[in-house]
Amino acid sequence: MASKIPAFTSGLKPPSTSTSLSNLAKRRVPEIITSQPTEKRPRTTDDAHTSNTSSSRLVRSKSVSNLATAAPNSKSATLSRAPSSTLRPQASSTVSRPASRLTACANITKKVDSISNAISNKGVKAKPQTLESRMMIIEKRLGELETENAEKKDTITVLDSSKKSLEVHLKDKESAVNILSEEIDNLKKEIRTLEVSNATERSLLENKIRELEFQKSRAERERTNLEGELIASQKEIVGLKCSIAEMSSASAGMRAELEILQRQLNSEKTDNTQLRNNLSAATAEIQELQTRLRQEETLRRQLHNTVQELKGNIRVFCRIRSIIPSDKMASGKIPHLNVLHHRSLEVHKLNPDMTLNESSMNAPASGKGPSKFEFTFDRVFGPNSTQQEIFEELSQLVQSALDGYNVCIFAYGQTGSGKTFTMEGGAAGSESDGMIPRSVRLIFAACESLKSKGWVYKIEASFLEIYNEQIRDLLGSSGGNHEIRVVNNETIVTNLKVEEVTNEKQVHNLLARAQQQRAVASTSCNEHSSRSHSVLRLKLTGVNDDTAETSNGVLYMVDLAGSERLKESGATGDRLIETKHINKSLSNLGNVIMALATKESHIPYRNSKLTLLLQQALGGSAKTLMFVNVSPRENCINETVNSLRFAAKVNSCHIGTAVKNNS
């Protein structure tokens, strides 16, 4: 502190002595009145010591400026700044002593101001040593006042804590008083309720007494009336005796009428006998009609099979996939594919000298091959065809499976041409349902309707895939060795899980389980390309106890893996191996169909697992439908032409007459 004062006094100038002293007082004199701390807690000895030291320094650094600038009448204003809400009545005597200290401090400040004014008026230089000694005395005195003030604040804090505990105790007592008051009020209410209840019971007893008196008077009146009625009844008895005599004579006439009614009843019994005879005749006629209905069902099956044979036991449907946003066809048209008829379409091949985005329809033909190709199939479905329209053509083959024939339906085409959508469809239970969900729905509906004709069916389902010439069970546990065998003219797969299904929902659950396990990978042709052949097998065994007929049909629903050229697929590593196996199995499928068409002595079923599995569904005892799916993309035209050429060869085949399976 002493080191700071010389530096301050050395800068004083005589003309502004009073102003400098005032500024010094503002900077050096600590502020006495401080605000009450907002947070109060019990103080320990260390806390008290720390609080005294820190508050002393804080007050010493701030308080003089307020005292130096205060007016002579600022005593009351200074005192009023103290937080009155924290002062308790019982601490008033304690607070009055710091107030006297404040008054003394204010007087000292006034003296400093008066000295400053006197020096300024007289123009006499103040002696720095005298001022410094006085300032030291003032600061010492202020330090003592600050210490006392801190002690008083601690006392106030203790009193505040006592007050709070007393307030809490008071609140507890007030709560107890309130509870007792509520109990008193409740007792008063109960007393009033009992009083009201007693008054009500008294009024009820009075009403009951009055009611009993009224009943007594009414009973006396009734007794009087009954005596009068008794006299009247006696007179009536005399009259009834006379009436009995009259009725005796009338009964003779009634007996005569009864005899007439008995004769009529006998006549009606005769009529009932005749009605029973008519009913027996009608029952016999119904049985005869049911027999004829069963015979007609058998005839219907024969005629249905004849119609299917006339259409061909191997048929080919062509479907052009609908345009999707990823195709990036702004016009919504497919310029290189033109459906000429419901059985034919035309393909305009790109000019080899043009880019893939250019259309060759208006380009002159070059010497590198024809610019257009025309293909004919059993049905051609354009990009706007719905799943229902396609299933209407397919449903006749599903009926053949119920009639006891082996039926194979498979989708063929390049990757991304819509095979899986055609077979499985989109969201379950919507218009986009594929051929598999719709076929299952038709099978269970037909089984229900055939019950009235005596047919009862047992349906068994299995689902597998052929991946890299290895069979994987999509319904059972992974792993296991699976072999294809022919037992009793039926193709079976060893260790394959087969489940009996009784409703459509169970089949949908099987499809969902199988879909989660199917092998899928990414190629340049399709980001989600199926890399395996999936085969759903439904065995339909029917028995008719009335006619002793049986049927054993098998329906194969096959979603073939996408065909794609190695150069265009960009496959490498494992994808390259997969593509080779896929193309080899599809090539062997074509060879088997060609061998069946030319009636060769040896059919190469064993060249691939796919043809070996489907041998019972491809030969002369089966009906086969092939979907050739083509993409609307212009850059896929070469693969489209290859798929259509293969399908055209299959469509030209005739594999013979289908034979019904009987047990």
Q: What is the DSSP string of 599-644?
A: T-S---GGGSHHHHHTHHHHSTTEEEEEEEEE---GGGHHHHHHHH
Task: Tell me: is residue 413 an annotated ligand-binding position.
Answer: yes
Residue where one domain finishes, among candidates 130, 163, 196: 163
Give the pLDDT score at 84.
Answer: 39
**540 within domain boundaries:** yes
CB–CB of 535/518 below 8 Å?
Answer: no
Residue where one domain finishes, among candidates 163, 183, 209: 163
CB–CB of 378/311 below 8 Å?
Answer: yes
Provide the mean pLDDT of the chain: 75
**264 within domain boundaries:** no
Give the pLDDT score at 661.
Answer: 65
Task: Tell me: is residue 590 an annotated ligand-binding position.
Answer: no
**645 within domain boundaries:** yes
CA distance 290 to 404: 22
**498 within domain boundaries:** yes
Give the pLDDT score at 73.
Answer: 40
**92 within domain boundaries:** yes
Task: Tell me: is residue 417 an annotated ligand-binding position.
Answer: yes
Could you tell me the mean pLDDT of each successive run of 10 residues in the chain, 663 residues long?
Answer: 39 41 43 39 43 42 39 37 39 45 66 65 54 87 89 88 87 89 89 88 89 88 86 84 81 83 84 83 75 65 59 82 80 82 84 41 44 89 91 88 89 89 81 90 92 90 91 83 86 91 90 78 51 90 87 91 66 75 88 84 90 84 88 87 88 62 59
CB–CB of 319/643 below 8 Å?
Answer: no
Give the pLDDT score at 129.
Answer: 58
CA distance 32 to 105: 9
Number of domains in the chain: 2
Task: Tell me: is residue 616 an annotated ligand-binding position.
Answer: no
Task: Tell me: is residue 416 an annotated ligand-binding position.
Answer: yes
Task: Tell me: is residue 419 an annotated ligand-binding position.
Answer: yes
Three-state DSSP class for residue 4: helix
Residue where one domain finishes, among candidates 163, 179, 209: 163
Instruction: Supply the range of the domain harboring residue 91.
Output: 4-163
User: Pick from 439, 393, 405, 437: which is nearest to 540 by CA?
Assistant: 405
The pTM of this model reads 0.54
Q: Are strands 490-493 and 499-501 parallel, antiparallel or unpaired?
A: unpaired
Give the pLDDT score at 258.
Answer: 85
Element (H, E) at 574: helix 574-597
User: Pick from 73, 81, 72, 76: which is nearest to 31 by CA?
Assistant: 81
CA distance 328 to 632: 11
Task: Tell me: is residue 420 an annotated ligand-binding position.
Answer: yes
**574 within domain boundaries:** yes
**602 within domain boundaries:** yes
Query: Tokens for 37?
Result: 């701390």
CA distance 378 to 342: 8
CATH of the domain at 415: 3.40.850.10
Give the pLDDT score at 231.
Answer: 87
Question: CB within 8 A of 91, min separation 6: which ones?
Answer: 155, 156, 159
125 secondary structure, DSSP code: P
Give the pLDDT score at 459.
Answer: 94
Give the pLDDT score at 616.
Answer: 85
**607 within domain boundaries:** yes
CA distance 271 to 651: 69
